Amino acid sequence: MNHNTPASVSPRPLRHLIKTQRRVMSGAQLKAHGVSAASAQEQCRAGGPWQQVLPGVFLLHPGPATSDERLHAVLLYAGRVAERQGQLDAVPVQPAAGEAHTAPAVPYTDALVTGLAALALHGFSSAPPLLSLDHIDVLVPRTRRLRSTEFVRLIRATGLPTPVQIGGVPVAPVPRALADAVAQLSDAGAVRRLLTEAVRGGHCEPASVVRELTQARLLTRPHVVDAVDSLLAEGRAIAEDRLYTMVRAHGLPDPVWNVDLRLPGGPHLGGLDAYWPDQAVAVELDTRAPRQDEDALWSEYARKREHLERLGITVVYITPRKLRDSLEQQAAVVRTALMAAGDRDPAAYVVVLPR
């Protein structure tokens, strides 16, 4: 053992590595297993049993890398692998059907799979299969001294989002992965399909997607703006369906849907998604888009609400996310407002018109 070998690790023969299911390793991991850089390169000679797939990353078999191996190779190149009890281990890959998977997960830091590869891992049917991707996008801190190479495309960020762990792979959340994917796409149809699936498939709400696209400065691209307009319309339609479901499933009295309110012979008071005239209770979906001036738009909401409540009308604002995540709770809020109507002074008379 020389001074470069960790004291807690004894060198092990190469056959030990070849027999394991741990098929992707970095040079540092090989060194921790007693394999020198020269020995690793010798194994990667023409016709040899190993191959170097990325700088400092080795595949311990001669055949093509699987999609899982490519992902772990990218993370070994771009990220850092935390030490576990003083010993660096190899990267586990998916076992064959019926085989036990005993290798521990590798705790990567400072790297997340993003873009189309991340969307494929999130289960997007509109994302290409992993093996068909020429590049795997990886988020890394802006300060990392690395370069894109081979099938690794680095995307630098000031701060990394909290990763989603999918099969031992740290993956960017859907909104961030979408923004990174859209940044690389010029096909308007592909952008529209990805954004639509994000909302229709329940992966996230439109507001979170638009926020990421805004931060990435992608809303200057006409094909992205068109896709976002469709996304927001899709998101509102889904939220409206959930609102209908809330009323039916939780036994609320039927409101009048999608109406405008006016004072008799007076000004327009605003549109509402649902209104119970007998109780003077209104529901409005809060579908503000982050690309708009949120402060100004919220001021408009607040002015409208204040005006209606001065007239004795209770306004309940519900976000699409709350309808998705806590339908029963939102139904209880509306039911409470309806039940409290008898304790309030009668509301002013207003004209209800279809919107």
User: How far is the C-alpha of 209 from the C-alpha of 216, rounded, in Å?
Assistant: 11
3-state SS assignment for residue 335? helix
Q: What is the mean pLDDT of residues 224-235?
A: 89
Residue 3: pLDDT over 50: no
Residue 9: pLDDT over 90: no
Rounded (5°) CA angle 199-201-203 = 65
pTM of the model: 0.75
DSSP 342: G
What is the number of residues in the chain? 355
Cross-strand partners of 256: 275
Q: How far is CA 23 from CA 18, 50, 149, 304, in A?
A: 8, 9, 21, 62
Q: How far is CA 194 from CA 51, 115, 209, 242, in A?
A: 35, 11, 11, 22
User: How far is the C-alpha of 184 from the C-alpha of 116, rounded, in Å?
Assistant: 9
Highest mean pLDDT among 34-48, 244-258, 293-307: 244-258
* Least confident span in 74-78, 92-96, 225-229: 92-96
CA nearest neighbour of 170 among 243, 263, 79: 79
Residue 8: pLDDT over 90: no
The pLDDT value recorded for residue 235 is: 86
Per-residue pLDDT tens over the stretch 86-101: 344 544 444 433 333 3
Q: What is the mean pLDDT of residues 222-246?
A: 91
Other beta carbons within 10 Å of 95: 12
Which sign, positive or negative, has the C-alpha torsion 142, 143, 148, 151? Answer: negative
Model confidence at 119, pLDDT cuts 50, 70, 90, reads very high
Q: Is there a contact between 353 and 260 (Cβ–Cβ < 8 Å)?
A: yes
User: How far is the C-alpha of 178 from the C-alpha of 18, rounded, in Å?
Assistant: 38
Cross-strand partners of 354: 259
Cross-strand partners of 259: 272, 354
Q: What is the mean pLDDT of residues 31-52?
A: 91
CA nearest neighbour of 322 among 237, 243, 213, 251: 243
The pLDDT value recorded for residue 231 is: 86
The pLDDT value recorded for residue 186 is: 93
Model confidence at 82, pLDDT cuts 50, 70, 90, reads low
The CATH number of 252-354, from 3.90.1720, 3.40.960, 3.10.20, 2.60.120, is 3.40.960
Pairs from 144-150 (Cβ < 8 Å, separation ≥ 24) = 144/78, 144/110, 146/77, 146/78, 149/54, 149/55, 149/77, 150/53, 150/54
Residues 6+ apart with CB under 8 A from 220: none
| Burial class (CB within 10 angstroms; exposed 0-12, middle 13-18, buried 19+) of 178 | buried
Q: What is the mean pLDDT of residues 11-26?
A: 61
* Least confident span in 99-103, 161-165, 341-345: 99-103
Q: Are strands 80-81 and 108-109 parallel, antiparallel or unpaired?
A: antiparallel
| Burial class (CB within 10 angstroms; exposed 0-12, middle 13-18, buried 19+) of 248 | exposed
Helical segments of 136-253, H only? 174-182, 188-200, 206-215, 222-249
**Which segments within 115-189 are labelled E, that is strand?**
136-141, 152-157, 164-166, 169-171
Name the residue ranges covered by the structural domains of the chain.
Answer: 14-184, 252-354
User: How far is the C-alpha of 173 from the C-alpha of 180, rounded, in Å?
Assistant: 11
Q: Which two tokens stand for residue 270?
A: 């605003």
Model confidence at 17, pLDDT cuts 50, 70, 90, reads low
Model confidence at 106, pLDDT cuts 50, 70, 90, reads low
User: How far is the C-alpha of 66 from the C-alpha of 130, rounded, in Å?
Assistant: 9
3-state SS assignment for residue 109? strand
CA nearest neighbour of 14 among 46, 48, 47: 48
Q: What is the mean pLDDT of residues 28-56?
A: 91
Q: Which residue has the tokens 């849907």?
A: 257
Quote the mean pLDDT of the chain.
Answer: 85
Per-residue pLDDT tens over the stretch 180-213: 999 999 999 999 999 999 988 889 888 899 999 9
